[in-house]
Structure formats: structure tokens, C-alpha cells
Amino acid sequence: MASNKKIYLDYAATTPIAEEAIALMLKYLGINGIFANSASLQHDFGEQAYEAIEQARSEIANLLNAKANQLIFTSGATESNNLAIKGIAFSQQKRGKHIVTSATEHKSVLDTCNYLETVGFKVSYVRPNAEGMIDLAAVLNALTDETILVSLMHVNNETGVMQNIETLAQTLQEREIFFHVDAAQSVGKLPIDLNQTPIDLLSLSAHKFYGPKGIGCLYIRNRKKTLLTPLLHGGGQEYGLRSGTLPTHQIVGMAKAFKIAHERMPTDTAHCHHLQQLLMQQLQQIDGVQFNGDLQNKLPNILNVSFKHVTSDSLMLALKHEIALASGSACNSGAIEASHVLRAMGIEGDRLYGAVRISFGRYTTEAEIIRAGERIVEEVTRLRQLALE
């Protein structure tokens, strides 16, 4: 492979859209396509768009083993998380004003909870162990008579560590406490059966599984019981929970991408596992390499690694024009700051400030991983030598 070819290793931030999804989306944009407003049911153009959306909704629901009317289309997981958490908080506050989450959640969950604390709610932030695992006993111990909601992500976006949401879901159902799961990083990579696991609300985002940006879903197991307070008001689309004209092209693209991800799940997982092992072997050629997060209980497409005596910003700056890496979350408006996830795991000092996230996927090649590993080792070695001069 040519050494000047740029290598994209930031799949956890966003994935390229599957070509099949792009081809389908184009049929819903131009004058000769199905471009009309799906709410304009007074004519055939609108009806065609409506039918396309409902078909896509059914396809996505089937892959989650859910019902079509349990899915609300949103702009993505950030909006879904906000709608789920604020929606429960404001609609259920007469029952109680306490929420339980973890200190390693995505910013869209943490910042939503921080906001709710300013308007009278109480939030307990459960800390993980040193490997990033949330102890279910700690979650249950945080519950009070005032608790109305537990929000816990399925797979961490910085470490790839998976949480045992199945066991917690059963326990919370027995206690009649709402359970929200941010599944942005797991949908399309792990099988999720919403008929078997009693999750009340589940957030997903298409651009994490090779679909378009700007579209996602919120699964609501029982809309009559849950009664969310909407964030947006207007035309009453999506059962009144999310007003606004639906983007037909994005929705059909999301459904197509999800179908492909579901079909390719074993193949994609095996591919990422192979790439992870290959990259780890390369990086371990040098001393002072530490992998962050439980390596036995994580998705293989995300690798969080620290290099002793090398800061993440210096390494990423050195490789900026060659290799796309990440430090912390991709949702911090481009700001490079110490990872709140690693800090919550008790990681400090060189290990914290030297941590980078390397994430790959379906289109990453073995040659790219080999080249990236070589360049990372070279730059880490060079930066350490500079520090000694």
C-alpha cells in the first residue's frame, strides 16, 4: 500500500455510509424520485413517501425483534438520549425525582443529567471498576424510593467495554423503574432482542452502523405507560413525540444499512477481531504500552491505548495528515481534553493524557492496520527521544 494514503481509524466517531444505502437514498431525493413530504397524504406523492418510511420502520423493528409502532425517528442518539431522559424526568416527576446513571456515559447523557440537576432532580453517578465495568450491585444500591429511571450505555464509545444490560433490565422491570439504554455503539455490532430483554427505552444512531448522519431512533417499549414529555412541538409527527418533517432518504438509508449490518455481523466481528489482534501485536513491540478497558469484555472494533511518556495530542498531531485517531470523545466540539471515561476508571497521569482511541471497521484493511501500527510505533519512539533531548 502506498505510504501516502490516509488511513481512517475513527470508526467509533462515525462510519462511511454503505454504498448500497447511498444508492437507495438517491431514489428519494430528486424530482423523479419519492421526495414528497410523508405528512402530505392528500396526494400520491406524499403517500409513497409515507409508505417508504413505514416500510423502513418495520424493517428496523424486525431486526430488533420489536414492533414498528415502538420506534420514534429522531436525528440520532444524542436527541434520542435527551428525549428519553428528559421525557421520563418531566413526565414522571410526581413519582420521584431521582435518576441513576454511570460516570462513563456519553456526554449527551451526562450533560442531560447535569441539566436536570439544575431544575430540581437528583442524579447518582455510579463509577466503574478499573477495567471500565459497572457493578450491577452498585447500580442497585444507588436506587431509592424516588428513583424513576436508570440510564446505562450498552457499549462504551471510548473503550468498547460492554455492560451487562440484560440482567439489570430484568431486575429493574421487577422494581417498576424505567430503564434506558444508549446503544449507539452496539446496534449493528451485537444482537439485541427487545422482545426478550425488557428495556423500556433504547437509543440508536444510523451513522454508527454505516448509515447516514442525522437520523436515528428511540425505541419505546410501552408508549401508553411511558408517556414521554416531547422536546419538540409542531406538526405532531411520530405520535406527537417528535414533530418535524421526516427525512425519507435518511430513513430508508438507515434501514438498508441496518439490514446489511445485521447480515454481516458475524463477518464484520471476525474481521475486527483479527485487526485488533494484529494491531495489539504491533504496538506491543515497544515498551510502556497500556490497553485501557476490559479486553475480555469489549467489542473488537475499539482499542483504547496509552503510551508512556507520550501525550495523546502530540501523537495525534504528528499523525494528523496520515492517520485518523481520536482522544476522548468525538462529541466535544473538536476540543482535546482528558477523557472523563478513563478518569472515572481511576486512570490518571501519563496513562490518562497519553490515551488514544483507535477504532476500525468493515472497510479497514489488514494492510492499513499494519501501516498504521508501524507509523504509531515510529512516532511514539521519535517523540520519546525528543523528550529526552
Same domain, 240 and 293: no
Domain assignment present for residue 190? The answer is: yes
The confidence score (pLDDT) of residue 386 equals 87
Same domain, 205 and 60: yes
Last residue of a domain, one of 259, 289, 313: 259
Q: How far apart are CA 292 and CA 190, in angstroms?
A: 21
DSSP conformation class of 145? T
The CATH number of whichever domain residue 373 belongs to comes to: 3.90.1150.10
Q: Is the dihedral of CA 188, 180, 213, 74 positive or negative?
A: positive
Half-sphere exposure at residue 59, Cβ-oriented, CA atoms within 13 angstroms:
19
Same domain, 80 and 177: yes
* Residue 307: domain span: 7-16+264-388
Query: How many Å separate Cα 371 from the centre of its chain?
Result: 27
DSSP conformation class of 155? B
The confidence score (pLDDT) of residue 331 equals 44
Same domain, 204 and 74: yes
Domain assignment present for residue 84? The answer is: yes
Domain assignment present for residue 1? The answer is: no
Q: In the structure grid, which three cell numbers stand for residue 220, read together?
A: 419505546
The CATH number of whichever domain residue 96 belongs to comes to: 3.40.640.10
Q: How far apart are CA 336 and CA 354, in angstroms?
A: 12
The confidence score (pLDDT) of residue 3 equals 55
Q: Which of 350, 75, 335 is nearest to 205 (CA)?
A: 75
Q: In the structure grid, which three cell numbers stand for residue 304, read together?
A: 483504547
Cβ pair 154, 302 in contact under 8 A = no
DSSP, residue by residue, 46-61: HHHHHHHHHHHHHHHH
The confidence score (pLDDT) of residue 330 equals 43
Domain assignment present for residue 83? The answer is: yes
Domain assignment present for residue 147? The answer is: yes
Same domain, 225 and 331: no
Domain assignment present for residue 90? The answer is: yes
Cβ pair 121, 98 in contact under 8 A = yes
Active site residues: 331
Find residue 147's DSSP bridge partners: 98
138: Cβ contacts below 8 Å, ≥ 6 apart: 126, 127
Find residue 125's DSSP bridge partners: 101
Same domain, 304 and 197: no
281: Cβ contacts below 8 Å, ≥ 6 apart: none
Same domain, 169 and 46: yes
The confidence score (pLDDT) of residue 387 equals 77
Q: In the structure grid, which three cell numbers stand for residue 286, read together?
A: 515497544
Same domain, 233 and 84: yes
Domain assignment present for residue 68? The answer is: yes
Same domain, 170 and 76: yes
Same domain, 163 and 79: yes
Neighbours of 293 (CB within 10 A): 27
Last residue of a domain, one of 259, 281, 311: 259
Domain assignment present for residue 221? The answer is: yes
Segments of the chain scoring below 50 in pLDDT = 1-2, 329-334
Last residue of a domain, one of 259, 283, 307: 259
The confidence score (pLDDT) of residue 105 equals 97
Same domain, 131 and 235: yes
Q: Which of 106, 218, 89 is nearest to 155 (CA)?
A: 106
Same domain, 167 and 205: yes
Rounded alpha-carbon distances, angstroms, from residue 191 to 17, 161, 188, 300: 21, 16, 7, 15
Q: How far apart are CA 247 and CA 82, in angstroms?
A: 20
End-to-end Cα, the chain, rounded Å? 34
Number of domain units in the chain: 2
The confidence score (pLDDT) of residue 49 equals 97
Q: Which of 80, 365, 360, 119 is nearest to 216 (CA)?
A: 80
